[in-house]
């Protein structure tokens, strides 16, 4: 599914052509006609992202709230008016947003609703800080200190950090040298600082890279076109060790156990662990 960097990239790409303009909004298949009717013809005041949530803020404080989930997509087309008209909407198109400069098709979203500004604030309040937008970590160390479960699960909990998905989870933990099964509560404040800084750096780079995920050093990426150290790989791109794959937090974890030694200290959550289930209060990344 799209991770937080792709949603922020949508803001970068769409906002210059949509903000300040009256937007024609339709539901080609009719299923989301009530949503389209609520904002059709209104002026878009701003376009905002928080984690994996996208908010089109229209005049009169009407907010189109979109979460793509696993299958959702946003497709951009050429001008709605001009020599090249946009392609006809696909069968799975939930909404079409049009201005003379840009047409955007939203397909198969997990969430597509019109809310008010107060409800938007409540949605954001349920989420952790966004490492792309936030200036600080809003006490990441404090949240991890009380999290009963492995750090590999905590990073997918959107109430802990908003925007991390499975690819970035694997790469962030690798670059920090942290095993996915290590208890989140065992991380020191300094380790949390490094974890936050690494997360922020990688996701912001993803926005700058046009929504692509490239976590390896750019010189290494240029040499052999690899983009990740452990995710999707059979061997570690740094040391050559065989990558381990297994389930952590309901998603496949990828780790090099040479570069990310298994945790055997207090609160160990490895094989045979019988401790309590994780207690994160937010949604896990699908």
Q: Where residue 71 sits, what CATH number does that domain have?
A: 3.20.190.10
Name residue, tokens 């991770």.
3
User: What's the pTM?
Assistant: 0.88
Judge whether residue 200 has pLDDT over 90: yes
More confident residue, 286 or 118: 118
pLDDT at 81 over 90: no
Higher pLDDT among residues 31 and 273, named by residue: 31
To the nearest 10°, report the CA torsion of 163, 164, 167, 171. Answer: 130
pLDDT at 274: 41
| Active-site annotation, residues | 2-3, 52, 251
Same domain flag for 165 and 112: no
User: Coil, strand, or helix at residue 24?
Assistant: strand
Higher pLDDT, 24 or 217: 24
Q: Higher pLDDT residue, 176 or 101?
A: 176
Average pLDDT over residues 64-87: 82
Residues 243, 160 contacting (CB under 8 angstroms): no
pLDDT digits (tens, 9 = 90+) for 244-260: 999 999 999 999 999 99
Lowest mean pLDDT among 59-63, 89-93, 100-104: 89-93
Q: Is the model's pLDDT at 173 over the cut of 70? A: yes
pLDDT value for 80: 56
What was the pLDDT predicted at 213?
A: 86
CB atoms within 10 A of CB 20: 12
Asked whether the predicted pLDDT for residue 83 surpasses 60, the reply is no
Would 196 be classed as within a structural domain?
Answer: yes
- Residues 141-161 have a mean pLDDT of 95
Average pLDDT (54-74) is: 95
User: Same domain, yes or no, for 193 and 228?
Assistant: yes
> Does the pLDDT at position 223 exceed 90?
no
Mean pLDDT rounded to a whole number for the chain:
89
Place of tokens 């095993």: 179
Number of domain units in the chain? 2
User: What pLDDT, on the 0 to 100 scale, is given for residue 91?
Assistant: 86
Question: Residue 82: pLDDT band by 50, 70, 90 thresholds?
Answer: low
The token duo for 91 is 């069968």
Q: Is 131 part of a structural domain of the chain?
A: no
Domain residues for the domain of 189 are: 140-255
Q: How far apart are CA 221 and CA 213, in angstroms?
A: 11
User: In which band, very low, low, confident or very high, does the pLDDT at 150 lie, cut at 50, 70 and 90?
Assistant: very high
Q: What is the DSSP letter of 185?
A: G
Tell me the average pLDDT across 127-138. Answer: 83
Average pLDDT over residues 132-151: 86
Query: What is the C-alpha separation between 231 and 243, in angstroms, rounded?
Result: 9
Within this chain, do residues 110 and 218 fall inside the same structural domain, yes or no? Answer: no
Domain assignment present for residue 270? The answer is no
Contacts of 40 (CB under 8 A, 6+ apart): 23, 24, 25, 26
Helices (H), 91-148: 117-125, 140-145
* pLDDT tens per residue, range 157-167: 999 999 999 99
Please give the sequence-ordered ranges of beta strands (E in DSSP) within 173-282, or none if there are none: 244-248, 251-255
Among 102, 150, 124, 107, residue whose Cα is nearest residue 54: 124
| CATH code for position 214 | 1.10.8.50
What's the mean pLDDT in 82-105? Answer: 85
Are residue 102 and residue 162 in the same domain, yes or no? no
């Amino acid at each position: 599914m799209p991770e937080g960097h792709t949603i922020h990239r949508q803001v970068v790409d769409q906002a210059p052509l949509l903000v300040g303009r009256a937007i024609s909004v339709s539901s080609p298949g009719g299923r989301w006609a009530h949503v389209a009717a609520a904002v059709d013809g209104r002026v878009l005041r701003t376009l905002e992202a928080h984690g994996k949530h996208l908010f089109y803020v229209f005049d009169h404080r009407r907010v189109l709230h979109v979460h793509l989930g696993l299958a959702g997509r946003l497709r951009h087309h050429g001008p709605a008016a001009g020599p090249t008209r946009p392609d006809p909407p696909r069968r799975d198109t939930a909404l079409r947003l049009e201005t003379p400069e840009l047409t955007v098709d939203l397909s198969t979203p997990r969430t597509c609703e019109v809310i008010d500004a107060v409800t938007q604030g409540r949605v954001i309040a349920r989420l952790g800080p966004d490492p792309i937008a936030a200036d600080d970590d809003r006490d990441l160390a404090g949240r991890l200190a009380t999290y009963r479960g492995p750090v590999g699960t905590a990073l997918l909990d959107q109430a802990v950090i908003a925007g991390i998905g499975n690819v970035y989870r694997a790469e962030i933990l690798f670059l920090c040298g942290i095993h996915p099964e290590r208890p989140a509560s065992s991380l020191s404040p300094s380790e949390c600082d490094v974890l936050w800084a690494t997360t922020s750096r990688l996701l912001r780079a993803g926005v700058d890279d046009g929504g692509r995920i490239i976590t390896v050093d750019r010189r290494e990426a240029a040499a052999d076109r690899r983009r990740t150290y452990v995710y999707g790989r059979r061997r570690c791109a740094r040391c050559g060790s065989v990558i381990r794959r297994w389930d952590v937090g309901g998603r496949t974890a990828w780790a090099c156990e040479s570069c990310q030694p298994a945790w055997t200290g207090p609160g160990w959550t490895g094989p045979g662990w019988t401790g309590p289930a994780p207690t994160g209060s937010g949604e896990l990344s699908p």
